[in-house]
Each structure stands twice: as C-alpha cells, then as structure tokens.
Amino acid sequence: MTLAVRYTAARTLDTAPAESSSPGPGEVELAPAYVGICGTDLHIFHGDMDARVTTPAVLGHEMSGHVIRVGPDVEGWRPGDAVTVMPLRWDDTCPACRSGHQHICQHLDFIGIDSPGAMQQRWTVPASTLVRLPESLPLDRAALVEPTAVAVHDVGRAGVRDGERVVVVGGGPVGVLIALVARAAGADVRVVELSAHRRLLAEKLGLATWDPAAVDVPELVREWTGDAGADVAFEVSGAAGGVDTAVEVLGVRGRLCLVAIHPRPREINLHRFFWRELTLVGARLYDRSDFEKAVALVADGTVPAERLISKVVPLTEAPAAFEALEAGGDVMKILVDCTDEAPGAAV
C-alpha cells in the first residue's frame, strides 16, 4: 500500500492509502520523487475548481521521479530512468488537435486536475507523457521543469527577441521563471512585484525589480526606454491593477502576453490598444519542445531551480504546506517529497 495526498472538499486535504496496479498497454508506473505545489493546486484547494475536479482527487503535476515498471508495448523506457511528465492527454480528433495545437485540445485531460496527479508514491501515466531527464540533474531541481516549460512557452508566444525591453508584472514562481527565460533570450527585463521577499529573491538572481506600491512604474518605463515604452509585457499577477500596469507600460506595437488565470472578467483600456496598435496574446500550457528546452535550461543552470525552492516537506505534511503557501510570507516554491524514504511514508 502506498500513500497519496487527496483533495476531498474546499480547504480539505488528507493523506490516504492508494492502490497501485500494474501499468497497462502504453503505460508506465512511476515513483514520484518531488512534486511542486503551484497556483493551480491552490485554486483547487480553495474550492474554486470544484466544477471540474472529481473528489477525492490526487493533486500535483510539477514532478520528477523514476520509472518503476513499464506496460506492454512500451518501448524506449526501462525501470530506473529519470523522468518528468508533460501532464497532458489530448484526443487528437478535435479541431484544435487537427490544427496542430494538441496542448490546447478542446477535450484536454490535464493530468493532476482532470485525472489523478503526481502527489503519491506510485503513479501510472501514459508513456507518451514522459520526458527524459539527464542523470546528472538532481530530482529536486527537476521538479521545476514543468513551470519552466510554462515560461518557455510564454516567452515564445510573446515572440521575445534579443535586445527587447520586457516588463514582467508579478514576481511569483512563474513570473521569475519568465524573467529568467526572457533574459536568456537576450531581453532586458524588469520585474514588478509587491512582495519584498519576492523582489529580493529576483534581485539575487540578477533581475531588476520595481515595487509598484512605492514607484510610478509607467514613468520608470518611460525613463528606461527613452519614452518608447516596453516591447513586451507579461501579466502574471492575476490582479486588475496588474492588467492596467501591463497595458500602460507598452510602447507602440507592443505585445501583452496574458499568463495569469483571471477568474472574472477584467476591464481593459482598449483605447490604448487602438492608439498604439498593441497586440494581446494568450499563453496556456506548453508543448514537448517547450518541455525539452526547459529541461536544458534547468540542467545547465540558466534557470537556477535550487534557488527558487523555499522548502521541501514529506508527503504526510503536504496539507500543512498548502496552508503555508496560502499564508504567503517568505515562500516561493514548496516541494513535496514523495519518496518511500520520506519521514512518515508507508510502503
């Protein structure tokens, strides 16, 4: 018998025994090592996604681990392989899939939301979701490949180019990762973030930051760019004020990339879009090439994943970790250690 962290109702998680069965055709069984808690997991914890999530639900989609068993007809994988998972299962028949955009399939199964996730000691997934990890990459760092893939996709959607000026509004984990990936693409980046702790972490990573409560961000952008405005802005805050800032800082023909999930409609200055011929692009999830690039960026240290990890807790303490993230404070990324050796684990 193994253990899993389950969401059972709003603000209610438990750690319960979970059955482990042999992988079927085209499937592999994994032993998750580390699983990150992300903003979507917190939305589920708050009960905001009850219309989508079937309880009890095993959470988690930011993970690293090893292959334990392979099912029939699985080729190219063997027990012991270090992997992460691109947690998407698409139908390959809908209009989005037929046009080559499987990652936004109109009937997408996002594994860890729509089906059981990685926050358990054994996890069976389609072999098609596996992404190989270098043996030299520590598995705790590898747990940040998935959010890094989000950032890679976002920077690609925005078309960030060498020498461009980029403003990232929101300095949480994904915002900082976007800033790092954009910088690696040659951009000059500024991060706008209210939290002093998050600004300090970004600055330790060599990123310039602004506190929107203390300075006039659009005015600073005008000074920084010689009144031209930013080429690209990323809205990662999820707040109405963040949307306003992201629009205001853009120069002529600037691009706004919407990354944050806004649970309700927002007012937006459409006159600004008309007057400056701005472009708005949405960015959701990732494809395999984004994942493979993310693996490379984490492995070579371009994304110093270890410096974004605030805390690692055993699987049995995951419910308390959700509450700690919800409380905010000096926390960026918490990982759940799902290994059999974790304190309190049952096998």
Q: Which residues are catalytic?
A: 40, 43
- Helix, strand, coil percentages (3-state) for the chain, rounded to 5, are 30, 30, 40
Q: Could you tell me which residues come within 8 angstroms of residue 31 by beta carbon, excluding any fewer than 6 positions away?
A: 65, 66, 68, 121, 122, 123, 338, 339, 340
Structure tokens at 137: 């990459």
Cα dist. 281→153, 159, 244, 262, 284 in Å?
A: 12, 10, 16, 14, 10
> What type of residue sits at position 275?
W
Structure tokens at 111: 């594994």
**What is the Cα–Cα distance from 16 to 32, expressed in whole angstroms?**
16
**What is the Cα–Cα distance from 173 to 332, expressed in whole angstroms?**
6
**What is the Cα–Cα distance from 214 to 144, expressed in whole angstroms?**
31
Q: Tell me the backbone φ, ψ of residue 298, rounded to 5 degrees.
A: -75, -40
What is the 8-class DSSP label of residue 264?
S
> What type of residue sits at position 306?
E
**What is the Cα–Cα distance from 261 to 242, expressed in whole angstroms?**
12
Among left, alpha and beta (phi > 0; psi -120 to 50; other), residue 186 is left
Given a contact cutoff of 8 angstroms between Cβ atoms, the answer to whether 122 and 339 are in contact is no
Given a contact cutoff of 8 angstroms between Cβ atoms, the answer to whether 203 and 195 are in contact is no
**What is the Cα–Cα distance from 225 to 165, expressed in whole angstroms?**
8
